Amino acid sequence: MSEIKIDTINALPEGFSSKINADGAEALATLQSQSGAGNDFLGWLNLPNEYSDADLAEIENATRVFEGCEFVVCIGIGGSYLGAKAVVEALSDSFAAFKPSKAPRILFAGQNISEDYLFELQELLADSRFGIIVISKSGTTTEPAIAFRLLKAQLEANVGKKEAANLIVAITDARRGALRQLATEEGYRTFVIADNVGGRFSVLSPVGLLPIAVAGFDIRALLKGASVMAAKTSADSDENAALTYAKARNALYRSGKKIEILVNYNPKLHFLAEWWKQLYGESEGKEHKGIFPASVDNSTDLHSMGQWIQDGERSIFETVITVEEQRHSLSIPSDEANLDGLNYIASRRIDEVNKMAELGTRIAHIDGGVPNLKISLPKIDEYNLGALLYFFEKGCGISGYMLGVNPFNQPGVEDYKRNMFALLRKPGYEAESEAIAKKL
């Protein structure tokens, strides 16, 4: 079976050398020995190997709760939604919303507080049978709590309180938080997010696995890919792709490249990049340090961001995800009149043209002073996505330690919440309300 590879050729700055290699080895050792900052949040490291057959059967069986549902709404934000969204989007037909489906359609809510979004969602669900997976590790996050209050009320109004309780699954802390209490009182089926697995590292926990299974995808293959990647990324060797990635991005950062753009040439990977942005942004953006994670979907963004990337400030590098094998095959037809002048590529695969756009861009960007790392993904399937998710998680842990931060906390995320609660006059925030009022 081919595997994920990373290519750093022509990308590394002068001086990518003994210091970076030593720092990478030390960061990897700290991670593997679980002796560094945030080491109480390393449950994700061995997660792919920890499921018994019974654990997986329990998740797979839980999908039956939603049999007969047209929609299942996953409610969550940040790490409690992006992993599932990334995998479901990557594996789904691009036009799944307009084609018949045996599995329920997965919708997301709680990741914003848009009145229009929630109103329109409720309108869509009004005449449909639907279920809810509500996910919050803390069980107290405002955005998902609002969405859940609305949709729970709607579901209860539609099918009655007792039947609604059968159509709701909660994924939360084992003991703490409002969601745990609510789930216990209402008698919902629940799954636990382990204490030692942080939100953005939780895609391979029930947080990601249940929605992915409900969408009809093979969570065992996903975990298998992750497990194989875990074994390949534990030792300090040139074969350790996650270590190579962490070292390369830190070498580039130290040489002044402060922004990393994750590039794809396949729109199915759009939300994979959103997941990656959270993973790296929330893990590394601390103490006024950290690479800013950005992303583009090409060719689309070559016609919007392409100019900036080619010619703008030279503070960026790119990491391109190239998908080696497509799921389908389609060639460019020949046309006798050739009015569009495309006969020179007639009978060539669309993917060959896409790959030439990718290669041409890579060469142009390198020539323009944008270092390019390349990650090769054999194809977009469960096995390879599992491997890719774990690869990025491992790379993130190593990279965060190389940067000198605790990659497993997120102190900055609390600041906006404090202000929002102060502005909304939440009980317990009286002093903050008074202080913020003076700034208005």
Q: Give the contacts of 147 (CB within 8 A, at least 6 positions apart).
A: 73, 75, 109, 110, 118
Q: How far is Cα 32 from Cα 397, in angstroms, rounded to an integer?
A: 10
d(CA 6, CA 15) in angstroms, rounded, equals 20
Largest pairwise CA distance in the chain: 76
284 binds ligand PA5 per the rule CB under 6 A: no
Give the total of residues touching ligand PA5 (CB under 6 A): 15
The Cα–Cα gap between 293 and 388 comes to 17
Instruction: Pull the structure tokens for residue 108.
Output: 């997301």
Of the pair 48, 139, the CB lying nearest ligand PA5 is at: 139
Choosing from 21, 101, 138, 299, the residue that interacts with ligand PA5 (CB under 6 A) is: 138
Q: How far is the CB of 415 from ligand PA5 (least distance, A)?
A: 13
Shortest Cβ 250–ligand PA5 spacing (Å) = 22
Q: Among residues 147 and 370, whose Cβ is nearest to ligand PA5?
A: 147
For residue 375, the cross-strand partners are 6, 321
Beta strands in 193-315 (DSSP E): 259-264, 292-297
Looking at the Cβ atoms of 356 and 413, the one nearer to ligand PA5 is 413
Q: What's the closest the beta carbon of residue 394 comes to ligand PA5, in angstroms?
A: 16
Residue 38 identity? G
> Based on CB atoms, which residue is closest to ligand PA5, 140 or 354?
140
**Token pair for 252:** 């580039």
**Binding-residue pattern over the window 75 to 114 for ligand PA5, x denoting contact by CB under 6 A:** --xxxx----------------------------------
Supply 119's token pair.
């109103």
Interface residue with ligand PA5 among 23, 89, 282, 393 (CB under 6 A) is: 282
Q: Which position among 63, 92, 111, 141 is part of the footprint of ligand PA5 (CB under 6 A)?
A: 141
Nearest 5°: phi and psi at 160?
95, 155
Q: Which residues are catalytic?
A: 282, 303, 417
Interface residue with ligand PA5, options 8, 92, 111, 136 (CB under 6 A): 136
Give the residue at shortest CB distance from ligand PA5: 199
Span 190-219, contacts to ligand PA5 by CB under 6 A? 198-200
DSSP 259: E
**How many Cβ atoms are within 10 Å of 440's Cβ, its own excluded?**
5
- Shortest CB 315 distance to ligand PA5, Å: 26
Burial of 54 (0-12, 13-18, 19+ CB in 10 A): exposed
Q: How far is the CB of 383 from ligand PA5 (least distance, A)?
A: 25
Q: Which residues bind ligand PA5 (CB under 6 A)?
A: 77-80, 136-138, 141, 144, 198-200, 282, 410, 413
